[in-house]
Structure 1
Amino acid sequence: MSRRDRRGRGLRGDLIPVSVPAYRTRAEQFDDLVVATVAQIERRWEKQLHGAEFAVEEVPASDPAPWEARGVPLARLFPEQAGHPARIVLYRRPIEMRAPGRNDLDRVVHAIVVEQVAQLLGESPSDIDPDYDERSGG
């Protein structure tokens, strides 16, 4: 299949080589950021987080929980129940909208994961991560 249009113009090849970090999509980069953040927290809380799942979705479902009426959630904690493990879900698009830049995105994702893990474990966020800054999170 030709990648050129009928006049011989158009893309000739990939715009970005596979070896360049920008080749990964924003969603893939966000997933990598969440995995790195969770791995950092799991080092200290491995035993308590055993079996817990972490996931990323683009946006939250359109049916918010009653306590979420004040805005779009950035993440949700689904406690363990009926044979299903506890699950923390982060919502990529609302989080990206909240963070104006890449450095801010790192900080916001970290704070949100810390807050959700704290809620799951019944701890304070500063117990989960002594460097936690409540002004950073969701």
Structure 2
Amino acid sequence: MTEQATSRPGGFGAVRAAHRDPRGRGLRGILMPDLPRHRTRSEQFDAAVLDVYANVLDRFGDRLDGLDIAVDMIPRMRMDASIAQWSDEVAADGPVPLGRLVPVGVDADGAPTRPRLIVFRRPVEERSTDRAELEQWLRYVIATLVATYLNVTPDLVDPGFDWD
């Protein structure tokens, strides 16, 4: 059956009749576009980072106003295999950096930059088997780097985390 235009009394314009599905193809298009099950892995990771960071912001919001947070796929920094220990500005699991705190600086054009906390998605995902473990790694990375930024110990940033 094709769509037909009919006229309503009172001059309200054309109304389309019900559409039938003679070929049995069903509905077309996205039925539930904004549900979590339709998020990509990257979007799910970004949401998890924001969830963990929101808890830190609740405690230290006024002191973290100038700190930006970002997610990068992989570490984009010079790495030397001979380095036995990373600086405090890098949260790492052994030789693999999981996040980094980039201090205030000047970009290539000479404009000032804000401090930035960067979480590296692939190394953190590789160490996580489920959502709970991912959250634990993110709590470790974010608390460690925020503690460095605030010049406090990580257990003050996230006292509920098991730091042993």
Using the TM superposition, name which of 123-132 and 59-68 deviates more.
59-68
Which consecutive residues of structure 1, in runs of 5 or more, have no partner in the other structure? 1-11
User: Which whole-Å deviations, capped at 9, do the CAs of 1:4-62 have from their partners, x for residues lacking one?
Assistant: xxxxxxxx967984254220001001101111111110111112111100000111116
Alignment deviations for residues 41-99 of structure 1 (CA, whole Å, 9 cap, x no partner): 0111112111100000111116227655x622100111123432111100001000011
Q: Which residue of 2 aligns with 1:102?
A: 131
CA change 1:15–1:97 in 2 (3 A) is farther
When residues 112 and 19 of structure 1 are mapped into structure 2, their CA distance, relative to the original with a 3 A threshold, is: same
More strand by share: 2
TM-score calculated relative to the size of structure 1: 0.78
1:71 counterpart (95, 111, 116): 95
CA RMSD of superposed structures (Å)? 2.5
- Per-residue deviation, 1:102: 1.3
State the one-letter code of the partner of 1:36. Answer: D
Distance 2:116 2:156 in 1: 20
1:27 corresponds in structure 2 to 42
Q: 2:61 aligns with which of 37, 41, 46?
A: 46
Bigger radius of gyration, 1 or 2?
Answer: 2
Q: Between Structure 1 and Structure 2, how many residues are aligned?
A: 124
Q: Any stretches of 5+ residues in structure 2 without a counterpart?
A: 1-26, 87-93, 107-111
Q: Secondary structure at the match of 2:46?
A: helix
Distance in 2 between the 1:20 and 1:43 partners? 26
Q: Which residue of 2 aligns with 1:4?
A: none
Q: Percent identity?
A: 30
Q: Which has the higher contact order (CA 8 A, sep 6+)?
A: 1
The TM-score normalised by the length of structure 2 is 0.66
